[in-house]
Every structure is written in structure tokens, then in C-alpha cells.
């Protein structure tokens, strides 16, 4: 396995753990930090473990691990969404299975848990669970964060209410503008990819506009003047 693929596997496993952690805790943010605790050479054997911290008990870490393990077993056997598995968690599990299809590696969560089996049945069942995807021209609004140009240029736009993000794929010539909009509220237009339930999961960026900041918005008095309420 190449270094890039190893990093990809690590990223996807972290996303899977974080998504289950958030859903299990019914929070918009992750509660547990995870780290690579062991890597064996040869066929890659990747072991991650949760880091105990304030207000996080070992039993909570164990519950996340067990939930992920049970969920993977469920997906391998049937095209049924496991409890606490978001679409993003399912997609990460699918990505791990695709990586394993190309390169032999094993994933283990903590030293006392068993290795997670990732085979081709998982890919097919995740596709059936998530369903078909649709594309149309549309707009995504939210706060622009997490610019990544290490591979295909991408940034994420986060919904202020749900904290869910949409992947935004952009051409390199837009990078300077996008950097200026970092951590600001934007409206992104382009070809949107959505699931059957209408949830937007990605967009190929054609244009991006910045929402006015609070300091740039007119006051109530100015609005009255704009509407013709004063002479």
C-alpha cells in the first residue's frame, strides 16, 4: 500500500468513527479523539484507539467501537442501515472496502477488539442503502471551511443549523478567491449531487458569492429609508 493510500485509509476510518460518535452522542461534534496506536508493516494492519479525556469514559469509547463493529457486520450481511450510521459513515466504510479491494490491509479498533472485515459485499450493500444519486443545477449556502488542494481541489461548506457539510469541488483558478472567503458565509452555485431524499452531498463549483457581513448590512433606520418610509 502506498503512503497516499495509507493516509486515505486513516482518514476514512477516522470519519467513520467520528460520525458514529456524533450520532451515538446525539451531538453536532465529536466527543472522542482517536489516534493510530499501532501499524504493522507488510500487509498493513492499522490499529486505532480512543483517547480518554475529561468527561469521556472508557465505556463510551468501547460503545463507539462496538457500534462500528456491529454496524459493519450488519452491512456485510444485509443492505440494512445500522443504527447510528449516517450516510457519511456508510460512505467511509465503503471507501475503506474499496481500498482493501486494491491493497491488502486490516483495520482494528483498540487492542482488545477484532479486526474489521471489509469485503466487496459491503460495497454493494452500502450502494443499495444510500440509494441513487441525482445531479442538477443548484446552490449550497453555509460557512466555507476546510480547503484541501492535496489531491482534487475541494472545500467544504457547513450548514449553520445542522453543522453538516457539503463537498465543493473547484477549479484551481478559483483558489485565491476561495481563500479570501475562508470562515465566511457564502453561496456556491453549480452542479449539485443529491441523494434520493434530497440531501445535498456535493457540488461542482461554477460560481461563489459572499454574503454581506454584519458590519456591511444596513441599519433599521437605513432600511426604512430604502423602503421609502422617510423623507
* Overall average pLDDT of the 60-84 stretch: 89
Q: How far apart are CA 99 and CA 120, in angstroms?
A: 11
What pLDDT shows up at residue 113? 57
Is 170 a residue whose pLDDT tops 70? yes
Other Cβ atoms less than 10 A from the Cβ of 157: the count is 25
Q: Which residues contact 74 (CB under 8 A, 6 or more apart)?
A: 80, 82
For the ranges 13-27, 43-57, 104-118, the one whose mean pLDDT is highest: 13-27
Which one has a higher pLDDT value, 175 or 57?
Answer: 175
* Overall average pLDDT of the 198-221 stretch: 79
What pLDDT shows up at residue 131? 80
Is 104 a residue whose pLDDT tops 90? no
Q: How far apart are CA 181 and CA 38, in angstroms?
A: 39
Assess contact for 137 and 191: CB atoms under 8 A.
Answer: yes
Confidence of residue 227 (pLDDT cuts 50, 70, 90): low
Cα torsion 151, 157, 161, 164 to 10°: value is: -20
Its pTM stands at 0.59
Name all domains of the chain by residue range, CATH numbers in brackets.
3-130 (no CATH), 133-215 (2.40.50.140)
30-58 pLDDT, tens digit per residue, is 667 776 655 555 445 556 666 766 677 77
Amino acid at each position: 500500500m502506498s503512503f497516499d493510500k495509507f493516509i486515505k485509509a486513516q482518514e476514512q476510518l477516522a470519519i467513520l468513527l467520528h460520525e458514529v460518535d456524533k450520532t451515538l452522542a446525539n451531538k453536532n461534534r465529536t466527543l472522542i479523539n482517536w489516534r493510530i496506536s499501532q501499524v504493522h508493516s507488510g500487509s498493513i494492519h492499522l490499529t486505532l484507539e480512543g483517547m480518554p479525556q475529561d468527561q469521556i469514559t472508557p465505556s463510551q469509547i468501547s460503545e463507539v467501537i462496538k457500534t462500528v463493529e456491529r454496524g459493519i457486520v450488519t452491512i456485510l450481511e444485509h443492505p440494512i442501515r445500522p443504527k447510528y450510521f449516517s450516510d457519511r459513515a456508510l460512505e467511509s466504510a465503503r471507501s475503506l472496502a474499496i481500498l482493501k479491494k486494491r491493497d491488502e490491509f486490516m483495520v482494528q479498533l483498540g487492542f482488545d477488539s477484532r479486526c474489521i472485515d471489509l469485503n466487496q459485499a459491503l460495497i454493494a450493500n452500502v450502494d443499495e442503502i444510500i440509494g441513487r444519486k441525482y445531479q442538477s443545477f443548484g446552490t449550497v449556502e453555509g460557512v466555507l471551511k476546510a480547503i484541501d488542494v492535496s489531491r482534487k481541489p475541494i472545500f467544504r461548506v457547513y450548514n449553520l443549523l445542522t453543522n453538516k457539510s457539503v463537498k465543493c469541488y473547484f477549479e484551481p483558478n478559483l483558489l485565491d478567491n476561495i481563500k479570501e472567503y475562508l470562515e465566511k458565509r457564502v453561496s456556491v452555485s453549480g452542479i449539485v449531487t443529491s441523494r434520493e431524499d434530497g440531501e445535498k452531498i456535493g457540488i461542482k463549483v461554477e460560481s461563489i458569492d459572499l454574503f454581506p457581513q454584519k458590519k456591511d448590512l444596513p441599519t433599521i433606520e437605513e432600511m426604512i429609508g430604502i423602503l421609502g418610509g422617510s423623507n
